[in-house]
Structure 1
Amino acid sequence: MKCVEFRGMAESYQAGELPVDTNHEVIAHLDGCAACRGELEARVALRLTLRAAFEHSPTLAPDTRFVADVRSLLTGRSTSQGRFGGRTSWLAMAATLILVVAAGWALGWGPGRPLSRPGGGSAAVSALAAHAAGDHRYCALEHALDEPVISLEEAARRYNPAYASLRDVVAQSAPVREGGLEILGAHWCVFKGQAFGHVIAQRGDHVVSILVAPTSQASAAGSPPSTCQSADGLQVACFDARGHGVFVVSDLAEGDVLQLARSLAPVLQAYLAEA
Structure 2
Amino acid sequence: MAVTDPVQRILTSAPPRASSFIVTIYGDVVEPRGSVLWMGTLIECCARHGISESLVRTAVSRLVAAGRLQGERIGRRSFYRLSAAAQTEFRQAGQILFSPPSLPADWAIALSGDPLPGWVAFGSGAIAPFRAGLVLPAGPVLRAATISGANDLPGFAAGHWPLAEVAQGYRGFLDRFGGLTPQRTQGLADADALALRLRLIDEYRHAALADPRLPQDATPVDWPAAQAHDLFRDLYLRLSAGADRCVGHSFADSVGPLPEATPETRARMKALSR
Please indicate the TM-score interval, normalised by the length of the shorter structure.
under 0.3
* Larger RCO, structures 1/2 (Cα 8 Å, 6+ apart): 2
TM-score normalised by structure 1 residue count:
0.25
Larger relative strand fraction:
1
